[in-house]
Amino acid sequence: MAEYYGTRFILMTATQPQLLELGDRLLGQSFRKPVELLPSHREYFSSLTRTRLISQIGRERNGEEFFNLFLDTWQSHQSALIVVNTIRRSKEIYQLLKRAHSEGILRNVEIFYLSTNIVPWQRNQVIEAVRGRLDDPNGNPVILVSTQAIEAGVDLNFDIGYRDLAPLGSIIQTAGRVNRSGERGELCPVYVMRLGDDAQYIYGSHHLNWTKKLLDMYEEIPEPLFPSLLFDYYQKLAEHLPMDASRDLWNEAVCRLDLDKLNEFQLIETDGVADVFVELTKEATKLADEYERVMTAENMPVYEKEAVLRRITTAMSQYMVQIRANRLVNSQLAEFVTRGGVKGNFFWVSPNEVDKFYDMQTGFKDEGGEAYLY
């Protein structure tokens, strides 16, 4: 489109992955080089001293061992962000911290939990509560345990960070939530550790291997080195990532305009995932009632009904979590149709069963109290 129609594309990212370079390699030819809108951006980074990465990936840790690392490195006046890779691990770390708080090991702190295991409406509440505590100069320190949900444009500002091993871009994203405004001192630490083999469940081995190799080159990585480190990382990926699947998709689907094959492609795999609507508030009940009313309306024009349903289901998604469908095999979770006879392509937790299926701190659970992993 840029070559033939004069379209201009502006790529804005926090970590500047080499997307166009990957495209050149995929197509086997080199196109016009992108224009850097801020050619001197590295000069700006060279003067930043907000954070530093400290690698602790030399050995694998379990939850208890991470907790000991936390106690050894955290100071009682600091607000801390802990980002892990799986919901199961996030629940474990959260419970360890809550137990330490109840036993008086952690005093005068507030502990919060954030993940996709809680509905978006509640996630927004947690984020606003944490932001309020962080902005209060007289408030208690905050400890937030999170999954990658914290990486999606969340503007929070902590004193210290902890990140389970992940691709370098994700680690830098976590560092962006530490000393964000530069008012919490210099070179605030972000510890990178390995919690079991959790990272392998979420990320590709190529990304993890190159991240490990780069982290192993330094004892500490101050913020001014982040741009060059990211450049090296993405360059290595561009040179070594297997491209066969992408090249096949391009040649067989895009070039031949095979729309059926294109429709089969999923950037993020969602097969085997089910939506669950948790009727958690009066607003959620109103939305469910409205959905049933519109679905059964007989005199509403088709296009109007579709538009109204899109609006309602978008609002209902604030009370939905996604879980792996294989966890529903032995579950007594109801389909939405049991609510009032109206079909919906999602499951339903009634107000009377919220306590059975949903924990107000850590979110969705099965009857055995286990989180659904997604």
CA–CA distance from 152 to each of 239, 333, 352 (Å)? 28, 30, 32
E strand segments, 21-176 = 51-61, 80-83, 110-114, 142-146, 160-164
Length of the chain: 374
247 within some domain: no
**SS3 state of residue 161:** strand
Centroid of chain to Cα 223: 22
CA angle 163, 193, 233 (to 5 degrees): 75
How many domains does the chain divide into?
3
pTM of the model: 0.86
268 within some domain: no
250 within some domain: no
26 within some domain: yes
53 within some domain: yes
144 within some domain: yes
Q: What is the pLDDT of residues 229-240, one digit of tens each?
A: 998 888 888 777
Euclidean distance between CA atoms 334 and 129, whole angstroms: 32
Residues 6+ apart with CB under 8 A from 175: 51, 53, 161, 163, 190, 223, 226
Same domain, yes or no: 217 and 356: no
248 within some domain: no
- Give the pLDDT score at 370: 46
Amino acid at 41: H
- Give the pLDDT score at 270: 56
Residues 6+ apart with CB under 8 A from 177: 81, 150, 154, 156, 157, 158, 161
Euclidean distance between CA atoms 324 and 72, whole angstroms: 36
Q: Are 287 and 279 in contact (CB under 8 A)?
A: no
Give me the residues of the chain with pLDDT under 50, please.
367-374
Residues 6+ apart with CB under 8 A from 9: 1, 2
Same domain, yes or no: 120 and 194: yes
Same domain, yes or no: 75 and 97: yes
Same domain, yes or no: 333 and 230: no
Single out the residue of 117, 92, 115 nearest to residue 278, CA to CA. Answer: 117
266 within some domain: no
Same domain, yes or no: 47 and 34: no
Strand partners, 273: 324
**SS3 state of residue 155:** coil
Helices (H) and strands (E) in the chain, counts: 16, 13
Q: What is the pLDDT of residues 309-366, one digit of tens each?
A: 999 999 999 999 998 876 666 678 899 999 999 999 999 999 999 999 999 999 998 5
Match 């708080």 to its residue by tokens.
101
Same domain, yes or no: 19 and 124: no
Same domain, yes or no: 285 and 162: no
Residues 6+ apart with CB under 8 A from 100: 67, 106
Same domain, yes or no: 207 and 73: yes
Same domain, yes or no: 126 and 209: yes
If 0-12 CB within 10 Å is exposed, 13-18 middle and 19+ buried, where does residue 347 land?
A: buried
Enclosing domain of residue 50: 43-240
- Give the pLDDT score at 200: 87
HSE, CB side, 13 Å, CA atoms: give it for residue 67.
Answer: 18
Euclidean distance between CA atoms 332 and 367, whole angstroms: 8
| Residue-wise DSSP of 4-34 | HH--------SS---HHHHHHHHHTS--PPP
Same domain, yes or no: 115 and 229: yes
Q: Are 85 and 208 in contact (CB under 8 A)?
A: no
Same domain, yes or no: 75 and 140: yes
Amino acid at 316: M
Assign residue 89 the CATH number of its domain: 3.40.50.300
Same domain, yes or no: 179 and 300: no
| Residue-wise DSSP of 308-369 | HHHHHHHHHGGGEEEEEGGGGTT--PEETHHHHS---SSEEE-GGGHHHHEETTTEE--TTS
